[in-house]
Amino acid sequence: MDRRKFLFQSTATVGGLLASPRLGLLAVAAGAMAGTLAQDSDSPRSENPPRPLLRSGEPINSRGHPLGHGIAALTTVSVPTAAPGTRIFAVVAHGQARTDCNERIARRSVGFSTLEFTRENGRWQHEVASVHNRRWDLETPIPIEGARLVADQAAYRVQEMQPGTGCVNTVAATPWQTVLCGERDGWVVEVNPLSGHAVKRFSLGRVGARSIELVAKPGMPVAVYLLGDSHYFKFVSHQRFEARQIQVNSSILLIGELSVADLAAGQWVALTADLKDEAWAAQLREPLCAPNLPAPFSESPASELLARLRGADAAWKVPDSSFFVEQDEAGSIIFGT
């Protein structure tokens, strides 16, 4: 059987400080922006031999919800414990629907999963009885929320229920211990693995992100960089990042400005700065694509160009935990080391 092995170096936030994870699609050129995940299987790992933890289709919880079909990306969020590094949440993006089943099963094979792992005697294990093991798919309605602030006016809000989430391209951990999940066909979903709350972030637009970077510096607005199929976007939050009171940041992506990169000119073009209320909502409700944007790129832009556009925001954090995923025709297997 033809098998491809990938090492996922996933990022856990530490002390609520900056975590800009190198996460993106498998074996796709988006690695130029988000850092490369697909590495040779001989890459250094821990001294323990890899251990299979979970396979596509196996139950992730006591309710029998199965792990989705194909894993496009994976990241982790640390959980405060008396023994640091012994309990984490993993958020897994499912980017490929099953084709050997009926429509309902196929609709439930995409989306994303949250999983709890614990480490004992130097080995990771999946806690199948944990209430934090959850699935979101096309059968799981998700609220969408966004707001627009205009001087001397009450905030204009978008708040409604949306259908579930389809194929997810990428995931990225935040310093406030949530994870951003980029849908292939549109929105960015923010999920809190601890509470199980998930929301589509309207203000980030329908960009179809296939890679996400997040930069948060204490006392400064948060910047989220989103690489789509043909354009590069930047969201800057209205609220400033509070590093010492992490939960204050839970709604930091509710309000902000969205821009798109003009790669030919090497500059950002505002998409929402001059828009109010209904005009703002109309701009973001539809997929953001040509002809209303600067010229698209035909192939992934060079990492040097993206770095110039990010400027001082090009910050990274060294991953401090590792999983790897093996792909085959039957789906994916998550291994821990």
- Using CA atoms, how far residue 227 sits from 215, 306, 307, in Å, is 14, 10, 13
Please, what is the end-to-end C-alpha distance for the chain in angstroms? Answer: 23
Q: How many CA atoms lie within 13 A of 235 on its CB side?
A: 25
Residue type, position 113, single letter: S
* Tens digits of residue pLDDT in 236-278: 999 999 988 888 899 999 999 999 999 888 889 999 988 989 9
Cβ-contact 171, 23 below 8 angstroms: yes
Do strands 168-173 and 142-148 pair parallel, antiparallel, or not at all (unpaired)? Answer: unpaired
Give the start-to-end residue ranges of the domains of the chain.
Answer: 4-44+52-320
Return per-residue pLDDT of the chain as tens, 337 residues.
334 444 443 333 322 233 333 322 222 223 323 332 333 334 344 567 888 999 999 999 999 999 988 899 999 888 777 676 688 899 999 988 888 889 999 999 999 999 999 988 888 999 999 999 999 999 999 999 999 987 777 889 999 999 899 999 999 999 899 999 999 989 999 999 999 999 999 999 999 999 999 888 899 999 999 999 889 999 999 999 998 888 889 999 999 999 999 988 888 999 998 898 999 999 999 998 767 788 888 777 777 777 778 776 645 453 555 788 888 877 899 998 8
* Among 123, 196, 194, 200, CA closest to 163: 200
Q: In sequence order, which residues have a C-beta less than 8 Å from that of residue 270 and are 6 or more positions away?
A: 257, 258, 259
Which pLDDT value is given to residue 300? Answer: 72
Q: What is d(CA 268, CA 106) in angstroms, rounded to the nearest whole number? A: 39
